[in-house]
Structure 1
């Protein structure tokens, strides 16, 4: 009797282990091909960072450079509707992993660390860094090194953004960095004198300043770009690592748009330019993840 119970118990353990697998969520694979499922439904759930000019809402409609590219690619894949959801930048990758989104995109920079957690599509656009200070630039800040040289200076930066790592590598200490949830909060920190400056991608903070209190804030036109790995940054859509077929199909349609010169047409209405923001055709995500292009 004990032997039979032991066999039953052992079989139960085997079945339990088989059901649990390796503990990683992969429901899209379990349900079948995600790409075909999205094409059948005609809808794809896309997470966008609420970051103008990449993605933002205006008159109830989602707009922005990242929105325009994603919409064009998915339309060419036979997926007519992009069900877009604006989110805090720091919540995009967790939301993708939790299957809240099928894909995320917002000019998200491809970095080696992020490449370990998500599978990036090929690069869609490039951009540099920017700095906003109090009107008149009383501290004469024109680079990250200027901030590092004065330990009393505080700089606000959006949580989850790559700028924190850039600043640390330029010698700015953790004590000088104030983490805030979004761009408006970073502006508020400078306006209230809790911070001396805020930084972010050049296009994002420059566009955001247009709707902020220009009398109190100033964009540093002659900001010196840091000469470090990761600058310029290259933005791309990101997928779950298991969703190879969806990513490859997305890349194939993206390549066509690049070769036809359509990317510039899609992003220029939002303030981007072909000269500054369109990536070279031969640049690959693999080279960026490996750090080969810096």
Structure 2
């Protein structure tokens, strides 16, 4: 049994290592889960964020790595049970010269430029906080956004808190700021996604995830990539 899974370049969740091996927290979770349900061949497809949902809808691959679940996305694909719950965060140049500690802080400074990967939930969060269109610079992927940050073309890059802190940990030029929970009091959740007609694979993955999430092995594997237990606890019983 072979499963084709699409991913993008976004450490620590999924990325292509220097040795061309596909790795990351969610890649490892997918591998453990799929092997447990009898999959003997896993084929990784590198794509862009904007192609994840169309690709699985059109059958170019069988499933996507976890992304945030939204009502709009759930109309297009079938999501698995949640695998993590993550707050937003900013990646900034060391020293945070414009004191950008929230979306509202960005909105309050008309000279602040916020980098966001096109189509991500961070765009809606920024707009809800009053960040103007003229302040937002969109990118096709995380590597391009980080290059722009290092070049001084943007003042902050908005993604997840865990992603920001892991990237900042590995760079003397960068620092991270966690933006905390959403206004609803709970960080949004992420899940694998599937073609809505692929119910057999979805149900098999869900059954295994329910057994595995929150286990000692799961926590140890995720900790290697910087995910804290609080980012796993709220979904481990889903």
3-state SS of the aligned residue for 1:246?
A: helix
Question: Taking structure 2 as the reference length, what is the TM-score of the superposition?
Answer: 0.91
3-state SS of the aligned residue for 2:68?
A: coil
Higher helix share: 1
Quick one: which of 123, 130, 135 aligns to 1:164?
123
Gaps of 5+ in 2: none
Gaps of 5+ in 1: 1-41, 284-294
CA distance in 1, matches of 2:29, 2:166: 19
Question: Taking structure 1 as the reference length, what is the TM-score of the superposition?
Answer: 0.74
Quick one: which of 150, 161, 175 aligns to 1:218?
175
**Residues 108 and 235, structure 1, Cα contact 8 Å, conserved in 2:** yes
3-state SS of the aligned residue for 1:131?
A: strand
Residue 111 of structure 2 is matched in structure 1 by 152
Residue 140 of structure 1 is matched in structure 2 by 99
Per-residue CA shift, 1:149-191, capped at 9, x if unaligned?
1222111111222100111111111121100112222122223
From the CA coordinates, give the structure whose radius of gyration is larger.
1
Residue 49 of structure 2 is matched in structure 1 by 89
Residue 195 of structure 2 is matched in structure 1 by 240
3-state SS of the aligned residue for 1:179?
A: strand
Residue 75 of structure 2 is matched in structure 1 by 116
Residue 227 of structure 1 is matched in structure 2 by 182
Residue 131 of structure 1 is matched in structure 2 by 90
Higher strand share: 2
Pairwise mapping of residues 1-294 of structure 1 onto structure 2 (< 5 A)? 42-58=1-17, 59-105=19-65, 107-210=66-169, 214-215=172-173, 217-220=174-177, 223-225=178-180, 227-229=182-184, 232-258=187-213, 260-283=215-238
CA distance in 2, matches of 1:191, 1:64: 23
Q: Give structure 1 regions of 4+ aligned residues with deviation exceeding 4 angstroms.
A: none
Greater length-normalized contact order (CA 8 Å, ≥ 6 residues apart)? 2
What's the CA shift for 1:226? 5.4
**Residues 123 and 279, structure 1, Cα contact 8 Å, conserved in 2:** no
What's the CA shift for 1:282? 4.1
